[in-house]
Amino acid sequence: MQNTKEPLYRKENKRALHYHGDKGGDFRHTRNSKDFKEFDGDRMGMKGNKQRGRDYTPLFRFLFSRVGKDWTATHSEAVSRLDDQEPIWWMVAANEAEKKDYVRLGESSLWSGLYVDENNVLQKVNPDLKNEDLYPSCSCHTHSFNGEPLVNKFGGIEMPGTKL
| 107-160 per-position pLDDT tens digit | 889 999 999 999 999 999 999 999 999 999 888 889 999 999 999 988 755 555
Whether residue 14 lies inside any domain: the answer is no
pLDDT at res. 18: 57
Q: Specify the number of domains making up the chain.
A: 1
**How many percent of the chain have pLDDT more than 90?**
51
Q: Predicted confidence band at 1 (pLDDT cuts at 50, 70, 90)?
A: very low
d(CA 116, CA 132): 25
pLDDT at res. 163: 45
Q: Residue 148: which of 111, 107, 113 has the closest Cα?
A: 111
Whether residue 109 lies inside any domain: the answer is yes
Whether residue 134 lies inside any domain: the answer is no
What residues are paired with 103 via a beta bridge? 111
Whether residue 160 lies inside any domain: the answer is no
Whether residue 17 lies inside any domain: the answer is no
- Full domain range(s) for residue 68: 57-128
d(CA 62, CA 113): 14
d(CA 39, CA 64): 51
Whether residue 30 lies inside any domain: the answer is no
**How many percent of the chain have pLDDT more than 70?**
68
Position 91 pLDDT exceeds 50:
yes
Whether residue 36 lies inside any domain: the answer is no
Could you list the beta-strand ranges (E) of 17-145.
Answer: 92-93, 102-104, 109-112, 114-116, 122-124, 144-145
Q: Predicted confidence band at 58 (pLDDT cuts at 50, 70, 90)?
A: very high
Q: What is the mean pLDDT of residues 62-71?
A: 97
pTM greater than 0.85 (yes/no): no
Task: Check residue 102 and report its DSSP letter.
Answer: E
Position 28 pLDDT exceeds 90:
no
d(CA 46, CA 58): 31
pLDDT at res. 71: 97
